[in-house]
C-alpha cells in the first residue's frame, strides 16, 4: 500500500502559499487602481459640470499645471517606494487621481458623452485582456516590455513636438500616427506591467505585498490605462463637441 500513498499535502504548501501571496497582492493592486479611476471619474464629472472646466481649458498655465503636478507625484511615489509608508503612498495616490480628474475634465470638454463611453469600454476590454495575458503567460515579456517602454518615450516626445506644429493638416496627421502607435505601445505595456507585478509579488518579503508596493503598482497600471484610453479617445472620438 505504501507505493500508492499520495504525496503529503505539506509538499504543496509552498506553491499554495505563493499563489495566495500573488492573489492577495494583485487584488490590492487592482483594487487601488479602480479606486484611483473612480476618484478621477468623479472629479472629472464634477468639474466638467461646473464653470471651472472652461477656466482650465482656457488657462494654459492651469491646464499644464494640473498635468505636471500629478507627473511629479508619480515620480515621488515610484522613486521613493521603499521609504514611503503605505498610508502616505495611498494619500499621494488619491491626490494624484483627483488632480488627473480635474485635468481630464478639460480634455473631456472636447468630446461628447457617447465618444467617451465607447473609448472607455474599448479601453477596459483591451486592458483586461492584456492584463490577463500578462498575468497568466509563461513566456517572459521582458524583452518586449523594454521595446514598448522605448515606444512610450517616443510617443511622449512626439506629443511635445506636436505642440509646435502650426499647420493644422500636418498636426492632424501626426496626431493620428501618435494615437495608432500609442494604442499599440500601451496595450503591450499593459501585459508587461501585469507580468512584472506578478513577479514582484513573489519577490517581496512578507508584510509588504499589500503596502506601498501595491499602491505604486496600481499607479503604474492607472497610468497605462489612462494613456490607452486617451489614445483610443483620439481615434474613436469622432463625435467632438463644437
Q: How many CB atoms lie within 10 A of CB 151?
A: 17
CB 141 within 8 A of CB 192: yes
| pLDDT given for residue 3 in this prediction | 43
pLDDT, average across residues 162-178? 75
pLDDT at 6 over 60: no
Of 55, 84, 56, residue with least CA distance to 69: 56
Cell numbers found for residue 60: 494654459
Q: Please provide the average confidence, as pLDDT, over all residues in the chain.
A: 85
**CB-count burial class (<10 Å; 0-12, 13-18, 19+) for 16:** exposed
Average pLDDT on 201-219 reads 80
pTM of the model: 0.86
Q: Kind and range of the H or E element at 83?
A: none
Q: For residue 58, how many other CB atoms are within 10 A of its CB?
A: 10
Please report the pLDDT score of residue 46 as a whole number.
92
The per-residue pLDDT for range 58-111, each reduced to its tens digit, is: 888 888 888 889 889 998 898 888 888 989 999 999 999 999 999 999 888 888
Q: How far apart are CA 86 and CA 138, in angstroms?
A: 31
Q: Mean per-residue pLDDT for 29-46?
A: 95
**pLDDT confidence of 50, banded at 50, 70, 90?**
confident
Q: What is the band of 170 on the pLDDT scale with cuts at 50, 70, 90?
A: low
Q: Give the C-alpha distances (Å, rounded to integers) separating 169 from 4, 12, 55, 91.
A: 75, 62, 27, 43
What does the pLDDT read at residue 16? 57
- Give the pLDDT mean for 43-58: 87
Q: What is the pLDDT of residue 11?
A: 42
183 confidence band (pLDDT: 50, 70, 90): very high
Amino acid at each position: 500500500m505504501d507505493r500508492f500513498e499520495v504525496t503529503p499535502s505539506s509538499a504543496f504548501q509552498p506553491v499554495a502559499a505563493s499563489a495566495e501571496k500573488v492573489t492577495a497582492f494583485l487584488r490590492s493592486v487592482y483594487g487601488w487602481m479602480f479606486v484611483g479611476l473612480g476618484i478621477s471619474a468623479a472629479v472629472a464629472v464634477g468639474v466638467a459640470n461646473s464653470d471651472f472646466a472652461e477656466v482650465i481649458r482656457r488657462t494654459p498655465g492651469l491646464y499644464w499645471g494640473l498635468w505636471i503636478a500629478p507627473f511629479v507625484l508619480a515620480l515621488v511615489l515610484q522613486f521613493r517606494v521603499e521609504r514611503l509608508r503605505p498610508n502616505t503612498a495611498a494619500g499621494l495616490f488619491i491626490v494624484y487621481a483627483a488632480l488627473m480628474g480635474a485635468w481630464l475634465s478639460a480634455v473631456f470638454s472636447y468630446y461628447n458623452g457617447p465618444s467617451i463611453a465607447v473609448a472607455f469600454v474599448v479601453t477596459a476590454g483591451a486592458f483586461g485582456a492584456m492584463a490577463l495575458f500578462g498575468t497568466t503567460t509563461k513566456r517572459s515579456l521582458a524583452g518586449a516590455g523594454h521595446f514598448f517602454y522605448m515606444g512610450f518615450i517616443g510617443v511622449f516626445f512626439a506629443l511635445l513636438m506636436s505642440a509646435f506644429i502650426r499647420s493644422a493638416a500636418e498636426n492632424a496627421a501626426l496626431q493620428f500616427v501618435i494615437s495608432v502607435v500609442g494604442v499599440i505601445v500601451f496595450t503591450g505595456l499593459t501585459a508587461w506591467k501585469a507580468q512584472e507585478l506578478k513577479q514582484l509579488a513573489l519577490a517581496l518579503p512578507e508584510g509588504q505585498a499589500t503596502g506601498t508596493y501595491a499602491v505604486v503598482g496600481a499607479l503604474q497600471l492607472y497610468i497605462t490605462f489612462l494613456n490607452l484610453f486617451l489614445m483610443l479617445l483620439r481615434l474613436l472620438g469622432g463625435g467632438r463637441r463644437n
